[in-house]
Amino acid sequence: MLKRALLVGSLVFASCFKGGGTTTVAPPPGNTVAPKAVDYTATVADPLGFLPVDAEVILGLDVDSVRKSALWPQLAGRLSTAGGDRLRAFEATCGFDPMTTVHAITIGIKNLKQNTPDGVMVVHGLDRPQLMGCMAKAQQKGDQKVVIEDGIVSIRGTETPPSTVAFAFVDASTVVAVIGPTASKAQLQAVLAAGVPLRTSPAFNELVKLTDLESSMWMILNGSSSVFDQAASALGSRPKAIVGSVNLAAGLTMNMRLRLEGAAQAQQLQQMINGQIGMVRAMFDKLDITTDAADLVVALGMNEQQLNNIMQLVIGQLGSP
């Protein structure tokens, strides 16, 4: 999830670039502000702002925190390689690397079974004049994939089926984007007008109370997510939700809850896991598997050396960048 979040955040605006020069053209008047100059200050300040109420997966990422962690040196090279030619073309054309300017990303994704899922992404830390100037340059060159209208940029991908992005700045450095095969200006306008729809869901708010939204990474998966489609056979029942957070200040600490049908299912899964992890515990400073009513609770901690060892194992499985 971390790799996907960072990669999506860095590539969403690069999808229309395959090469180009380094000159930035000033954006036309009216293309540098959110539609109708609405004040989105309160929504931007909410970590759940703009995200869809029917999202299957909600993910938050404090990119600044990740950059400062022991995880970043090994992760940065892989992300840059995964970005490929399009990311490099974006840097050459727009004059900046989004991976170095972005501070935080939140994403709400649904329809995960589609080849290109639908979702909303909020990116903090992009320079409005730079990015809008770059988009204006693409439009002025006659790029049919880029359309700017009422401060909203729409980009149509070249894949089959095509992925599309529509985005707008809601303040000087925050972008809200809708992504998916049918993303459009109208969809984005509806998202901007909705505010913080997740706050209207009592069930979701209960999960939010169990999640550290100020951590380096956090996620919430609701029970309707297709991620859980295969879980019922393995766990005995379909999970109701997963919430979790990861902090990277010194090594790594993780707290996660898997909500099951009831306390009996949680206790049964706890006993099964504790009976199997055995020597795995020696890889961590802390690995506690407990229950809280219907929740299986995992608390994990590791120091920087242990984190580095785990990352080496993971990278070894994935192969070289």
Measure the CA–CA gap between 281 and 300, rounded to whole angstroms: 10
pLDDT at 94 over 80: no
pLDDT at 290 over 90: yes
What pLDDT digit, counting tens, does each position of 6-40 carry? 444 444 444 444 444 333 334 444 444 444 578 99
In DSSP notation, 255-266 reads EEEEE-SSHHHH
pLDDT at 319 over 80: no
Listed range (13-17, 50-54, 176-180) with the worst mean pLDDT: 13-17
- Check residue 23 and give its pLDDT: 35
With tokens 């999640």, the residue in question is 211
In Å, how far from its chain's centre is CA 39? 24
Listed in order, the ranges of the chain carrying CATH 3.30.1360 are 201-318
- Check residue 13 and give its pLDDT: 46
Measure the CA–CA gap between 141 and 155, rounded to whole angstroms: 14
The amino acid sitting at 215 is S
Listed range (1-5, 151-155, 214-218) with the worst mean pLDDT: 1-5
Reported confidence tier of residue 238, pLDDT bands at 50, 70, 90: confident
The amino acid sitting at 155 is I
The amino acid sitting at 309 is N
With tokens 């169990």, the residue in question is 210
CA dist 131 to 5, 100, 137, 218, Å? 20, 14, 10, 28
SS3 content of the chain, % helix, strand, coil (to 5): 40, 25, 35
Query: Is residue 253 a contact partner of residue 237, using CB atoms and an 8 Å limit?
Result: no
Return the axis-axis angle of helices 72-94 and 2-11, rounded to nearest 10°.
10
Structure tokens belonging to residue 185: 């200006």
> Which one has a higher pLDDT value, 253 or 144?
253
Secondary structure of residue 47 in the 3-state scheme: coil
Reported confidence tier of residue 225, pLDDT bands at 50, 70, 90: confident
Measure the CA–CA gap between 234 and 264, rounded to whole angstroms: 15
pLDDT at 43 over 70: yes
Measure the CA–CA gap between 304 and 279, rounded to whole angstroms: 20
Instruction: Judge: domain 201-318, CATH 2.30.30.
Output: no
Secondary structure of residue 110 in the 3-state scheme: strand
Reported confidence tier of residue 179, pLDDT bands at 50, 70, 90: very high
pLDDT at 131 over 60: yes
Query: Is residue 251 a contact partner of residue 303, using CB atoms and an 8 Å limit?
Result: yes
Please state the φ and ψ torsions of residue 208, each to the nearest 5 degrees: -60, -40
- Check residue 22 and give its pLDDT: 36
Reported confidence tier of residue 229, pLDDT bands at 50, 70, 90: confident
- Check residue 27 and give its pLDDT: 43
Q: Name the pairing type of β-strands 241-247 and 252-259.
A: antiparallel
Measure the CA–CA gap between 6 and 25, rounded to whole angstroms: 27
